[in-house]
Structure 1
Amino acid sequence: MTPRSESSNSFLFRLLLFTLLLFAVPAFSSGEEIVLRMQDGAQAEVTNLSWEKDSIQFKTSSGAPDVLPRKQIKTISFRRSYSRKITRSIGLQLTNNDIYFVSDLLLSEERFLAKFENQKLSIPIEYVREVFFDVCITNLKKSAVDPEADDVVILKNQDVVRGELVSFDDDEIHFKTDLGNLKLPRSNSLSIKLNPALAAEIPIGSKYAQLFLKNGSVLSTIADDFDFSKEKLNVELPEIGTLSIRMSDICRIEFWDKRHHLLNRDQPLRSHNEDYFGNITSFNQNRNASGQLLLSGDQLFATGYGVRSQSELIFAIPSNAESFIFSLGLDDRADQNGAVDIHISLDDTEVSSHRLSQTDSHFLEPSALPIHGQKNLKLSVRFGLRGDVGDCVNWCQPYFLLKE
């Protein structure tokens, strides 16, 4: 063998070895800026994020490599905006409040069949709470109609048809009522709410993760059931199966376990909400004040409370809570309406205040307030200097971090 061929073979061997090492650890991103938020509320901007089962590797803003145990990470946030191009889709809300924006939805043999990100989806009917037609992330709105003991079809003219959902296809909804079997044009329908007697929570255990996708979908999965490749994330969804999600379609990953006590698990101890004229109003749980998905700071949130000025919500603090963590913002769809003062109190002692305005600071990144044995938490929203009557304030994913 000549020296030239030996040199060539050596170069090819080194190239092959480098390629194998490059793909040995699945990576989220090569140079994209990513925000890591820790369990204690601290955050860091990183790049070159890669993942192994128990640790997350990355480069800091200075370019230095670093590694952290996965259990210290609360959120992985990619700086990606939600897609505004999707104007018509079908929304499925599951009984665990997950949301899937799908196409080609059919009901067959007690299962919803649909296409989701070019994959086939099959969901048992008892895990679906509501079906929305012709919606997207910005206009999906929770129905105010109570299904009571029946399935309910809500028409575009706001008429309500009660009965039993039999099936539907691209053109018609087959519905059994006291007056006989009806065939309702799908083009005239807003949504279908299913019999709550069928509703069953999808089991996800005490340690799970939520994926927030660019199309507005929210998926929950067991946190340890992730399977990474360089460009895709394969997740196992209980009772549904395995889905392959492109990394470029993920806006945020949230990790949850038994240390996190979400406020939406409990109703407030007390609440008082009234408008500018003194009329009593109400708040919405897991929706904004208009009943739409919580969307603030160009981020979608699965849980929280939507209110308008003036509002006061009081919650009991768990005895083993060490901090209260929350995001806060004016709703992204509120246009220029909104100039509010925010006050947070522990046992009637104010510990934090903020001013939000659509023309200035309209979103507050996650903050952590220490708790030292206090019993009550009060969240107040008051009119700002302009006294806007159209403000829409979202308490986004508020939770208590519990002591280990």
Structure 2
Amino acid sequence: MRKHLCISLRLAAVLAASGVVDASRAEGPDLAGPAFETLTTAGPGPSGRITLLAVDRIEISPAESPPRAFATTELVHLSREAATSTGEGAYVVLPEGDRVVRALVGSATDAKVEVQALALGKASMPLDAVLGLVLNPPSDPDAFDLLVRRLRTEARTSEVVWLANGDRVAGSFLGMDDRVVRLQVQGAARELARDGVTAVGFDPALVSYPKPAGPYLEIGMLDGSRLGLVEVKLERGRVSGATRFGVRIDVPLADVVRVAPRTPTVAYLSELPVEAKSYVPYFDLVRPFQADASVEDRPLLLNGKTYDRGIGTSSRTLLAFKIQPGDLRFQATVGVDERAGALGSVVFRVLTDGKVRYASPSLTYRDAPVAVDVDLEGVKHLILATEFGERGDVRDLADWVEARIIRRP
């Protein structure tokens, strides 16, 4: 308990310094703002300051040219290079890749949980929007990644509590305070010491995280948080909006590192059904493809940068997708995951209706990621092929980062 209290006090000091608990952060905003790089549906766009931000329109002001406005249907994302880290604190796992990190998680009932973080300030979050809470994150990065992925993808029919000693307890979540987590287990109430609880996973069948009816913006933060926002506006260097779970936020633009419009013109393959798949391993080990993760179920990692979206495969894998009327282009960034090490070697191929439209050389993790852009007009089927490189399929961790279809507005 003393260790937990010390961590909480240190984190509170960090949050205060970041402006979460100190309203003085709102005074004297940096009107110049950081510069963002723009990726449009047609390719790289201008770099500059964001001077207008809304769910349907974004304006960029380059340093030496007039401002340029884009409809969000023209954009894939805006981003800037900045070091992000989860750091100390709890981790709130939300559906579809959203999350709140470096958080102070307070008390909870079976309906809501109190959270304080850079991305939210102080907020009461509806519990039915939450997939999981990592209350005491593992210090080992591999163990942490595995735990978060499990909270996101594991099929659970009840709440599950992961304990620090490796045990799991299944039951119905009743609530928690700063001392205990309360569950109903086989009809009896049970209290678990909170400082011995690593994480709580909630029943996915009870989670409600509806998509907004119209376009919205995914906002990535310096601390690693990501939230989908509607009713977005930019005023005096601050971004405000309403989250998908109904809590309003107000943060400095200087704390934003990525803006990804979610409109009908950009469809990520990791969110679309796979019409057919085929695995032909070099030996006997079949490694199924993973959505929004590497084939080893870790975050996608190319050239030192992690990505939220994409498809992880291994040689030899074929994935077929049905193309719809109005689908214009297939785009992705491909490369060998950095965790593959020196042995991984992969060839990426893109086929449309049986014809090869793109083929990479044999790539390793040392090679720079490659941008792929293939015309889909008149096409019925798209096939992504991960082929053997120079050394069989040893450590062939192939990442199709941000694999997407560009559709007609």
Aligned partner (choices 61, 68, 72) of residue 58 of structure 1: 61
Aligned partner (choices 270, 288, 291) of residue 264 of structure 1: 270
Partner SS state of residue 356, structure 1 = coil
Aligned partner (choices 214, 231, 254) of residue 206 of structure 1: 214
User: Are 2:397 and 1:392 equivalent residues in the alignment?
Assistant: yes
Aligned to 2:185: 177
Alpha-carbon distance in structure 2 between the residues aligned to 1:357 and 1:36: 27
Aligned to 1:19: none
Residues 230 and 330 of structure 1, relative CA distance in 2, 3 Å threshold: farther
Aligned to 1:130: 132
Aligned to 1:106: 106
Alpha-carbon distance in structure 2 between the residues aligned to 1:261 and 1:100: 24
The answer to whether the 8 Å contact 2:222/2:256 transfers is: yes
Aligned to 2:71: 70
Q: Which amino acid aligns with 2:68?
A: V
User: Are 2:28 and 1:28 equivalent residues in the alignment?
Assistant: no
Deviation per residue, 1:149-176 (Å, 9 max, x gap): 3111233454332111112234432111
User: Are 2:168 and 1:167 equivalent residues in the alignment?
Assistant: no
The answer to whether the 8 Å contact 2:350/2:358 transfers is: yes
Q: How many positions carry a matched residue from both structures?
A: 370
Aligned to 1:11: none
The answer to whether the 8 Å contact 2:52/2:233 transfers is: no
Q: Which amino acid aligns with 1:327?
A: T
Residues 399 and 48 of structure 1, relative CA distance in 2, 3 Å threshold: closer
Q: CA deviation at 1:280?
A: 2.3
TM-score, L = length of structure 1? 0.81
Aligned to 1:149: 157
Aligned partner (choices 62, 69, 81) of residue 83 of structure 2: 81
Aligned to 2:15: none
Partner SS state of residue 323, structure 1 = strand
Deviation per residue, 1:59-78 (Å, 9 max, x gap): 26xx2334233333332111
Aligned partner (choices 349, 353, 361) of residue 347 of structure 1: 353
Alpha-carbon distance in structure 1 between the residues aligned to 2:178 and 2:342: 39
The answer to whether the 8 Å contact 1:344/1:351 transfers is: yes
Alpha-carbon distance in structure 1 between the residues aligned to 2:396 and 2:179: 39
User: Are 2:378 and 1:377 equivalent residues in the alignment?
Assistant: no
Residues 73 and 283 of structure 1, relative CA distance in 2, 3 Å threshold: closer
Residues 181 and 48 of structure 1, relative CA distance in 2, 3 Å threshold: closer
Where do 5+ consecutive residues of structure 1 fail to align?
Answer: 1-22
Residues 48 and 238 of structure 1, relative CA distance in 2, 3 Å threshold: closer
The answer to whether the 8 Å contact 2:331/2:403 transfers is: yes
Runs of 4+ in 1 over 6 A off after TM superposition: none
Partner SS state of residue 145, structure 2 = coil
Alpha-carbon distance in structure 1 between the residues aligned to 2:165 and 2:349: 41
Residues 394 and 156 of structure 1, relative CA distance in 2, 3 Å threshold: farther
Q: CA deviation at 1:402?
A: 1.4
Q: CA deviation at 1:352?
A: 0.8
Aligned to 2:11: none
Alpha-carbon distance in structure 2 between the residues aligned to 1:360 and 1:81: 22
